[in-house]
Structure 1
């Protein structure tokens, strides 16, 4: 374990995909997860008043003669852009305490209390933020355009009466954009404006996205390594459905902010959408380790830190499953019990356990079948357990067992319908049951029946979880349309198999198993598809039975 950790640390001194010759990428990811568990077991206590290195970059002039206040303001701004929200609030407050006459420091306090892409604001926080913005405006020197403009924008953001057009956040974005236009070389304002313009996207209002992209691209043209700009570029291009634009920046963000678990993870939003699944698995394993280490140095962010940790875990496991990295997927699965304790957020424990079962069903059938049902398990976890057992039976060629688990899923949903408290489990269960019925048909040599089941499951998946809005990470672990293509191939309908495999690859690009189907179905271009499949898939793609594709 220690060897894996040290090798991982050495390898990731460069880009996440820069493996040493002959080095297994699985070993690197496993090393990071081991490192996270070792760090969590250490007895190092959190310290206060510590500036954690590696949270990003960017240092700006601050209206203070106190170098410590200036340093804390800049550190706080890096934390803010890294979405370390609680830590940013504390750091801005420290800067303001070190120099009570610093306008930017007071604005930082107001800024950090406001909404971001990940957080909202309470009425009580709005009052405190408004007071801080008033103080910032009063402290701003008459000729300090930046300080006055930022304080004015914040004061409008937290006004007792919201602006008449578009609400507080849209007005805040417009005000910061105007401040940026007055001085396009002010990178501090540019990054704040870029973020503010995409905050309304939380409510599916994407009207500010294109303007945000334009601002960020100007920043990156001058400084391609601006960590804050890269962070927002990843989000904005994702909202705009142009994720590949951010890939050159996403691939190096982790090394620009190696102390921020969120920014180490952030590049994988882009990587997932372009099909770099193994990089997704490795980078999120690295993020787990960084998260644990930073929390041992700084006071924890409580539930927010736990949310980030789950997000990184689910993202990484999704990448490992899509990449076919059996060893790393199983290591993620094993981490569920250690990384998500019973004392933590109950939802996190449920989600991590549920998704870990998928890895067991795919890669460790006997282990999946040995997982007992806990009487306290809710419907969500029970559905996943039955699904994992169904995958395990399919791997063993036991069609009857697969069908029993499909029926069990239907029974769980029927029970929920009777009590009238069904939530999103019904949509997920429809996909899970359909996949298992398709698997059973494939195992028994009935591809025509499998086509029907997989078509229904794929339609259910795409209706419930459309990729443009659900790849963060995907709620269901793989594209079921891929299985539909496999069923067509088994039925001898190569043209239909090609059509469905290509359709699946549109939104789940570089899927090694879909590429394998194309290799078998498209004889004219088999060599091309074979090369792509082998490059995309970590395991031996040729060893995956068509029935399990």
Structure 2
């Protein structure tokens, strides 16, 4: 025993020494952003850093990408393409357009790029394309400038059909300029046709997988995006947006557990990197998925955590939208009309964001039987619609018009005008079916077609209600409210097979 004790002590000392050594030499996990090959005429010493900056850009890590391109410009002051990259980091093609400050900075970077020697035609075409976006930004609307960028990238794509980066950036421009009302998804299909063969040859390219997800983010095309969705988070796990993006396809297909896992990871990564907007974006998708999975307590936990965050982000569209939508989703999907009627828009909210709250309050008042109380919020919705139309934001003006139609329909129902209410919700549903959602949101708080089913069921028209719910589920598979409503409507018409199918889907 006496001999064993010194051996144990020695073993402990060796272990402690080894542990200490490991602790001293421990490192964070290596950065993994995918593989990008982007040749430039810049100094060879900045080649790797330039490609890293482009990889960050492809995963919409805009702040990190800006900093990375700035570092390249510092290391090689003659590198015109570094300034191209900085200008691109302010563009945000699939998000809201850059504000005045970012537009001014982007224009300055384009001018700096043009002051420097541009040694290849390919580089000239890249710089000319981003210059087309920033040109005359004070007078030319953002969609027109985005189309000018797409046209310029199309010229580059024709000139360099075998160049991966030219083709990938061109595909993204096609997605960004796709008309929301084009239900044929012509641009998205063109982008997919460009990206699919590149994906086969470059399966580790972050932009290819990312943009395939965006190209296929629709009810029609979502099944095509599943492979890219399951790959992207493994290609670029160091980018929070890459962890989140797969949930766009998972949401379209009703794969709630996969969406939850995706956004739990994205939320944690965004928080650790201080990416406030991305954290809130992931939280909104997470709240939505928890509610569809029937995990209300978990959804409540996500929404409650907003109180510990500085969510006064009215001027930040992405953050402001998510922070506003989450409590609205929780209250409306839970049919907590009293809670919904007391929601408040954040100070400084854009009209398209504040409108969600006005809609929630109007619907809550109407559905709790107080039709008159909805008047004020319906008037606010009309004011938002007019402001958006005056500002040239036709997409959002249409979305707010849909919200206003829904609110008025529920008000008519509360005033015992069921036929007029049904007609109003049909119009809203037809209008909503004719326009795509933006990547900003997992979907409407409650799709208009699903609301139509609710109204038809409440007014004792179960056969029509079942049809409305089934149409809603074809566009948004797995939504809990539509599945519940369809099961009840099927019970009412003695369609036991459909009722069993709906309840089986609910219990998955």
The aligned counterpart of 1:411 is: 376
Question: Are 1:319 and 2:289 counterparts?
Answer: yes
Q: 2:247 aligns with which of 259, 268, 282?
A: 268
Between Structure 1 and Structure 2, how many residues are aligned? 450
Mapped partners of 1:127, 1:374: distance in 2? 36
- Equivalent pair of 2:328/2:340 in contact (CA under 8 Å): no
Mapped partners of 2:237, 2:199: distance in 1? 19
- Equivalent pair of 2:456/2:464 in contact (CA under 8 Å): yes
Question: Are 1:150 and 2:130 counterparts?
Answer: no
Question: Are 1:431 and 2:406 counterparts?
Answer: yes
The aligned counterpart of 1:386 is: 361
Distance 1:454 1:481, change over 3 A: farther
Q: For residue 341 of structure 1, report the CA deviation from its aligned partner.
A: 3.3
The structure, 1 or 2, with the larger RCO (C-alpha pairs under 8 Å, 6+ apart) is 1
Mapped partners of 1:180, 1:187: distance in 2? 9
The aligned counterpart of 2:50 is: 73
Q: For residue 345 of structure 1, report the CA deviation from its aligned partner.
A: 4.4
Distance 1:220 1:454, change over 3 A: same
Question: Are 1:55 and 2:33 counterparts?
Answer: yes
The aligned counterpart of 1:27 is: none
Where do residues 207-218 of structure 1 align in structure 2 (5 Å cutoff)? 208-218=187-197
The aligned counterpart of 2:168 is: 191
Deviations 1:16-40 (A, max 9, x none): xxxxxxxxxxxxxxxxxxxxxxxxx
Question: Are 1:352 and 2:317 counterparts?
Answer: no
Deviations 1:63-107 (A, max 9, x none): 56654x222112101111011223212212212322345565465
Deviations 1:370-407 (A, max 9, x none): 9687998997476366358559xx7xxxxxxx112x43
The aligned counterpart of 2:441 is: 473
Give the 3-state SS of the residue equivalent to 1:158 in structure 2.
Answer: helix
Q: For residue 231 of structure 1, report the CA deviation from its aligned partner.
A: 1.0
Give the 3-state SS of the residue equivalent to 1:238 in structure 2.
Answer: coil
Distance 1:451 1:266, change over 3 A: farther
Distance 1:344 1:432, change over 3 A: closer
The aligned counterpart of 1:137 is: 118
- Equivalent pair of 1:497/1:518 in contact (CA under 8 Å): yes
The aligned counterpart of 1:168 is: 148
- Equivalent pair of 2:40/2:123 in contact (CA under 8 Å): no
Give the 3-state SS of the residue equivalent to 1:476 in structure 2.
Answer: coil
- Equivalent pair of 1:458/1:479 in contact (CA under 8 Å): no
- Equivalent pair of 1:82/1:263 in contact (CA under 8 Å): yes
Where do residues 80-159 of structure 1 align in structure 2 (5 Å cutoff)? 80-100=57-77, 105=82, 107-109=84-86, 111-112=88-89, 116-118=93-95, 119-120=97-98, 122=103, 125-133=106-114, 135=116, 137-138=118-119, 140=120, 148-155=121-128, 157-158=130-131
Q: For residue 177 of structure 1, report the CA deviation from its aligned partner.
A: 1.1
